[in-house]
Amino acid sequence: MKRTFMKGCEAIAEAAVRSGCRFFAGYPITPQNEIPEYFARRLPEVGGQFVQGESEVASISMVYGAAQTGTRAMTSSSSCGISLKSEGISYCASAHVPIVYANISRGGPGVGTIQPAQQDYFQATKASGNGGFRMMVFAPSTVQEAADMTYAAFDYAQRDRNPVLILADGVLGAIIEPVVLPPMRPDEEVSAMKKAQRSWALVGHDPAKEPRSFIEPGHWSIQEQEQSCKDNAALYDSWEKDAQEESLMIDDAEIVIAAYGISGRIARSAVSLLRKDGVKVGMIRPKTVSPFPEKAFDKLNYKRVKAILDVEMSIPAQMVYDVRLAVKDRCPIETCLRSGGEVIRREEIIASVRALSKA
């Protein structure tokens, strides 16, 4: 199969186009600028529309409007830019409008730094907007995964009529790797996918002949709002089957690393080196951080596992709360952390594992 060298940001954009995305609106912010730049060149080639909005708020509102017509639509930003989009994202969740967006995250809080970090985990998995809605959140660790997850994200969004997030960071957005791109969906298929949304999309209905299931946020009775929340809860519970992870060398592991995204990529190489030295270490790397792959932790032999090492580019740690819920006090949990734009080093992970293995 043909492999193409691409930046992570470019692969995300190209995979979106190949999955049928025909509208993108965004606003420049480091380190995700290559995504809108790529869409600006690429979308006109396939009959799509690119808009650089006057702000993040305007951009997500445009995506909301485009997606309401049944068009596969996307936006992207970085950390503080995602915060500005949060109201629009919550509107999409409330109205059951499927969108895909990418966060190529940087350090924070606030404007923070333009260097990569993993400090948006809470925002991505717990509080992407008001009202307690949830999304599926994919966390790629390679350019190939970034392309594959983005391609699939549009199908999940359309299946659930719910936003889906690709959570990456500045390292993955900037690195260049060989990638096998997913197949290009032909125009006929893209058109058919849009027509399949006609029951709820704003495409010019005759209400007397075509009743539709579109929901306009803010126009609810109390009973309707509560029932919608109940329906959403049932949807979120159904995602347990969609949880994805990479489990590496856990069968005989005495120390298990929990890490996602670029930290998981770095931890994987640490596991390889430690194993060569006879250290019995394994790793669980969530590919979806929402839903979180709790069952992967149930498979561990806690009579053998001495400790879990949570590895994140976030201080204070954030994913560790989900790890604690999954581990259920069956063994100690320690952390190995960097933050504020400092990329975690393999040597730091190795040193932490060695210290735990000797404890």
C-beta separation of 180 from 166 below 8 A: no
Domain-located, residue 201: no
In a domain, 204, yes or no: no
For residue 256, what pLDDT is reported? 98
**Same domain for 175 and 291:** no
Asked whether residue 253 falls in the same domain as residue 182, the answer is no
- Measured between alpha carbons, how far is 72 from 9 in angstroms, rounded to an integer? 18
Q: What does the DSSP 8-state code read for residue 345? A: P
Domain count of the chain?
Answer: 2
The reported pLDDT for the residue numbered 1 is 77
CB 97 within 8 A of CB 87: no
Q: Are 8 and 124 found together in one domain?
A: yes
Q: How many CB atoms within 10 Å of residue 301?
A: 11
Find how far residue 230's CA is from the centre of its chain.
24
Asked whether residue 37 falls in the same domain as residue 113, the answer is yes
Tell me the per-residue pLDDT of 50-107, one tens digit each, with 9 for 90 and over: 999 999 999 999 999 999 999 999 999 999 999 999 999 999 999 999 999 999 999 9
| DSSP-derived secondary structure letter, 334 | E
Residue 345 lies in a domain: yes
Phi-psi region of 167 (alpha: psi -120 to 50; beta: other; left: phi over 0): beta
Query: From residue 161, how far is each of 177, 235, 318, 319 by CA, in Å?
Result: 32, 10, 28, 26
How far apart CA 101 and CA 92 sit, in angstroms, is 12
Residues 174 and 28 in one domain: yes
192/274 same-domain check: no
How is residue 158 written in tokens? 């359309």
Q: What is the pLDDT of residue 217?
A: 55
**Below-50 pLDDT ranges, the chain:** none
**CA gap 216, 94 in Å, rounded:** 8
Q: What is the CATH number of the domain that holds 343?
A: 3.40.50.920
Pairing of strands 73-77, 49-52: unpaired
Residue range of the domain that includes 306? 244-358
Whether residue 217 lies inside any domain: the answer is no
pLDDT tens for 22-48 read: 999 999 999 999 999 999 999 999 999
Q: What is the pTM of this model?
A: 0.95
- Contact between 212 and 69 under an 8 Å Cβ cutoff? The reply is no
Q: What is the pLDDT of residue 343?
A: 96
Provide the CATH number for the domain around residue 151.
3.40.50.970
In what order do the strands lie in the sheet containing 333-337? 245-248, 281-286, 255-259, 307-312, 333-337
Residue 222 belongs to some domain of the structure: no
Q: Are residues 343 and 273 both part of a single domain? A: yes
Task: Classify residue 161: in a domain, yes or no.
Answer: yes
Q: Are residues 191 and 89 in the same domain?
A: yes
